[in-house]
Amino acid sequence: MENLSMEAIMGYVETYGVPLLKAILIYIVGAWVIKKIIKAVRKMFAKGTYDESLQKFLVNLISWALKIFLIITVISTLGVETTSLAAVIAAAGLAVGLALQGSLSNFAGGVLIMIFKPYKIGDLIEAQGVLGSVKEIEIFTTKLITPQNKLAIVPNGALANGNIINYTAEGKMRVDTVVGVDYGSNIKKTKEVLLEMLKANPKVLEDPAPSVNVEELADSSVNLAVRPYCKPEDYWDVYFATIEGTKEALDKAGIEIPYPHEVQINK
């Protein structure tokens, strides 16, 4: 009985133990090889003139493909037939595909983004109700850093199929502000004062030239559209400088900015 037990144990070891050890060894070596391959691919991309967004996307794609191949190899080593495995994977793939249609849509969206390049890493974009700078474009999602320094993760499927406003693409942005002046103010002088203020700001571009135009004859003020242009990265600096500079320039020139008044009548 003792000999039979030992023979049975040895049989189990030979049948299941050896393939299991091989599978573990293959996984360890395979994971190490994948790590080296990904490192080499990153170096290759870094030496080339590839777009940064495309680099990260392809690295993620290659990494996932190699990991899936490694898992299939490990399962095959355990004795699962390749044909049976393929059938199982096909059936599972169909079930998972139906269950994860959104994820597949996001993957397809990521591919479309890489092909048509509506934005790249570093661009300031507005999409799906989110405004932010593109930090990373992954297989399924795009990561944005908002002006409040928050991380926003937006699905690629929604981005590929929705409206995208890219503020960086043209290299210039217009800053829109409106200021109201008293009806008794000299409009020509007011425009000159505001234009001088804008041109004195080194972050305001000369081309296109800044403009000041009458936008509206409101109930108690003449409203002027003050519109300088700047680089996308200087937007907020120019925006706040324009508002503050407008107040200071008009005060210095003696031009009144009207504000609501309350009149009390006593009988």
Q: Write the single-letter amino acid at 37.
A: I
Query: Which residues, including other chains, have CB under 8 Å from residue 18's CB and lie 6 or more apart?
Result: none
Question: What domain range is 228 assigned to?
Answer: 173-253
- The CATH number that applies at residue 14 is 1.10.287.1260
Cα pseudo-dihedral 66, 38, 133, 143, rounded to 10: 30
* Domain match, 105 and 198 both: no
* Domain match, 138 and 194 both: no
Question: pLDDT tens digits, residue range 242-257?
Answer: 999 999 999 999 999 8
For residue 233, the tally of other CB atoms under 10 A from its CB is 13
**Three-state SS for 140?**
coil
Instruction: Tell whether pTM > 0.85.
Output: no
* Domain match, 105 and 135 both: no
Tokens 């249609």, residue located = 101
For 155, the token pair is: 């699905």
Question: pLDDT tens digits, residue range 21-62?
Answer: 888 888 888 888 888 888 888 887 777 666 666 777 778 778
Tokens 């009988």, residue located = 267
* Domain match, 102 and 21 both: yes
C-beta separation of 232 from 124 below 8 A: yes
**Three-state SS for 73?**
helix
Q: Which residue has the higher pLDDT, 48 or 77?
A: 77
∠ CA 36-81-73, rounded to 5°: 5
Residue 191 within any structural domain of the chain: yes
* Domain match, 145 and 232 both: no
* Domain match, 92 and 12 both: yes
Task: Say how many domains are in the chain.
Answer: 3
